[in-house]
Chains A and B, each alone.
Chain A
Amino acid sequence: MALNILIVDDSRITRTSIQHIISMVDLEIGQILEAENGQEALKVLTEADVDLVLADLNMPKMGGAEMIRHMKSSEATKSIPVVVVSTESRTTRIKNLLAEGVKEYLHKPFTPEEFRQIIQTLWNKQTPELGDLLTKAMAEALETMAFLTVIPMEDDLPVPEKTIVAEIGFSGAKSGKIQIIAGLDFCKILAENIGALEKADKQAACDALKEFSNVTCGLFLPMVVSSTADMFDITVPKIKSCSNSSQWEEFVADCSSDTLNIEGHAIATRLILKD
């Protein structure tokens, strides 16, 4: 989808600089529209299809904050994401704007990479409904097969609170490797799934994981791997075919905070790409 972007800034130099930065990002850009202040921007928004607004705050006639309030009060414009681009250093003001519906904030000057990350964040946030996602996931699942491998463990090493316990290697439409960082609860679930244990205590979990360490266990995980440049999203839908499928959902309960949390079923924390 080509993005139509509206740049709102009273400085022509800044508008030109932002255009230049946008042109350096590997994105499909449609129209770049410009406005010198909030009033002009609102007029442009009634005349053109705009996907994203990049707005300064301090402008004559109508500043960015007032423009955003107008946008949020109109059915036609309230869903258009606004990114504030400013040298504003008052964090309270930025927080207030974010609370009022501003999606992101870019500090001037910003780099093409920062802009790209904002775009990626915004469009990831606008992920389709769960049903749509699962439909898409199942459609693409056939193209991506994943195998789970338990990392070798030292004999005398008990299952620690947080460690890398397994990897999921996947291949198909995308290929790569995810490392799973988890604690004891996750290990118990893993052991129950792999070892067909009814209920694993800590020792049983340790024993099972050691037994299966460094073995490709062949658990089939339909997943969708979507990528933009160096960032990946991993989507793991519910696995109906797994005998203990409900337990997979529990994985999320024991994930570390930097987990790629997709659809609440996330189990990956770090992705290592294959060449």
Chain B
Amino acid sequence: MKAKDFSGIRNNGPLPNPQEMEMPEDFSDLLDDYVESTNSSLDELEQVTLAYEAANDREGNAVTIRRIIHKIKGESAMVGIDEMSDFCHQAEFAFEELTEDKRPDMLLRFKDWTCTALHNLAERI
């Protein structure tokens, strides 16, 4: 199967449908925990993004943002949701490529897409 293209997060381009995210082949017992943990991370990401946008401690908040995306990426990989891991990977690239003023929009788009995907995933568990 052709890998989905998540590079649209880097240039405000189109993204795959979040409601069609592939479930892991090995249905992990950890999926409930994964959804809960990722939702929690996304809440934190939203707060930190807003603080970043308001130009509060940009350097410190950038570190936190990188850590949150990296954590979601790692957890997604460990439970076998490769598409989410790929999406995070592209978001990491985007964060480094974009100028400071364009980062918040990208991050909020990342958060919205991921929330929708998770919601859909939770309904299928």
Contact = CB atoms under 8 A, between A and B. Distances in A.
Interface string B56-76: 000000001011001101110
A167 B80 CA distance: 44
Contacts of B71: 10-11, 58
B30 to A, nearest CB: 5
Given A11-B71, A17-B30, A59-B67, A109 B37 contact: no
A13 B34 contact: yes
Interface of B: 28, 30, 33-34, 37, 64, 66-67, 70-71, 73-75, 77-80, 85, 89
Q: Is the interface of B mostly helix, strand, loop or mixed?
A: helix
Contacts of A109: 77-78, 80
Contact of B74 (A16, A56, A60): A56
Contacts, number: 48
Contacts of B37: 11-13
Interface string A1-43: 0000000011111101110000000000000000000000000
Contact of B85 (A14, A56, A87): A87
Interface residues of A, number: 18
A87 B34 contact: no
Given A108-B74, A108-B78, A109-B78, A16 B30 contact: yes
A109 B79 CA distance: 8
A5 to B, nearest CB: 16
A59 B89 CA distance: 17
Given A87-B73, A87-B85, A89-B89, A14 B67 contact: no
Given A17-B79, A87-B85, A89-B89, A11 B74 contact: yes
Q: Is the interface of A mostly helix, strand, loop or mixed?
A: loop
A12 to B, nearest CB: 7
Contacts of B70: 58, 87
A273 to B, nearest CB: 31
Interface string A77-118: 000000000110100000000000000000011000000000
A78 B66 CA distance: 29
B89 A86 contact: no
26 contacts: A9-B74, A10-B71, A11-B75, A13-B30, A13-B37, A13-B75, A14-B75, A14-B78, A16-B30, A17-B30, A17-B78, A17-B79, A18-B78, A58-B67, A58-B71, A60-B67, A86-B74, A87-B70, A87-B77, A87-B89, A89-B89, A108-B74, A108-B77, A108-B78, A109-B77, A109-B80
Contacts of B85: 87
